[in-house]
Amino acid sequence: MRVRAIAGAVVVLIGVSACATQPPSEDPVLIKLTEIDDRLAKVERLVNNDSLVQLAGQVAEIQAELREIRGQVETLSYEAEGAATRQRDQYLDIDQRLQTLEGGAPPASRPSARTGGAAAGGAAVGAAAGAAAAAQASGGGASDRVRYQEAFDLLKDGRYDQARADFQRFLVDFPNSDLAGHSQYWLAETYYVTQQYKEALPAFQKVLNDYPQSRKLPDALLKVGYCQYELGQYDKARADLAGVVQKYPESTAARLAGQRLDRMKSEGH
């Protein structure tokens, strides 16, 4: 029995010795651990690659959305610019037509089937004669209206520097013309539309101070408030815009002043 036990012990020692002396490259445990480590590294690479792909896809989607938004902004800017131009042209056209009515007889009515073209022609001649008489009565003669119209056309065409110079010369040459108040207003407008608010503000105020009978007083006071708003003079802007609403409640200027007051309130001004 003792011999068998000793023999068994020797076998075990030999086995242990064999495992202890086995090189690492042949160790099954190390081989299994190495295999697991390789598989884990592959999985990590796959996970990282998928994340990069997803991230790249998200970046591409964001870029596409930005391009779409940029296109929409450009479209809206173009439409807003076109609307502003159309509104300005319409406003100038209305002013011009009102000036024509103020400067002469009412426009001839459309010829009826009974009176025919002869009556219309006679009415047109009468209107022209009335306009000429009114121009002479204004103190500046017919040339003041011609000069005013020339400057006004430059303004309508967007040639603001030239229009400004012409309105300035008009005020020097025809200080007593019934168009002087309008000329001063449009002179101020050439500054306002080019965002020269510091220059526009005193120019509009001059309409209020020097031409108290001008039909442009509501619009001039409105633009004074607008200029003060653009210059950050919010208290003064509120006071003058409220003055437009109070003094000229039925005018378009009053409606626009109310809209700007609402906007200032929403902006915390």
Q: pTM for the full model?
A: 0.53
Q: What is the dihedral of CA 155, 156, 157, 158, to 10 degrees?
A: 50
Q: Which residue has the tokens 């040639």?
A: 159
Predicted local confidence at residue 132, as pLDDT? 40
CA distance 177 to 137: 10
Predicted local confidence at residue 45, as pLDDT? 74
CA distance 257 to 244: 7
Long-range contact list for 223-231, CB < 8 A, 24+ apart?
A: 223/188, 223/189, 223/192, 225/257, 225/260, 226/192, 226/260, 227/192, 227/197, 227/200, 227/201, 228/201, 229/260, 229/264, 229/269, 230/195, 230/197, 231/197, 231/198, 231/201
CA distance 261 to 244: 11
216-269 has which fold? Answer: 1.25.40
Predicted local confidence at residue 143, as pLDDT? 84
Burial level of 168, CB count in 10 A (0-12/13-18/19+)? middle
pLDDT in tens, the chain (269 residues): 554 554 455 444 445 454 445 555 566 766 767 777 777 777 777 666 666 667 777 777 787 777 667 666 655 654 565 555 555 555 565 565 555 544 443 333 333 333 343 333 343 333 333 444 444 444 444 489 999 999 999 999 999 999 999 999 999 999 999 999 999 999 999 999 999 999 999 999 999 999 999 999 999 999 999 999 999 999 999 999 999 999 999 999 999 999 999 999 999 99
Amino acid, res. 84: A
Q: Which residue has the tokens 């011609």?
A: 146
Amino acid, res. 19: C
DSSP state letter for 25: G
CATH superfamily of 134-195: Tetratricopeptide repeat domain (1.25.40.10)
What residue spans define the domains of the chain? 37-72, 134-195, 216-269
Predicted local confidence at residue 120, as pLDDT? 35
Distance of CA 137 to the CA centre of its chain: 44
Predicted local confidence at residue 204, as pLDDT? 97
Predicted local confidence at residue 59, as pLDDT? 79
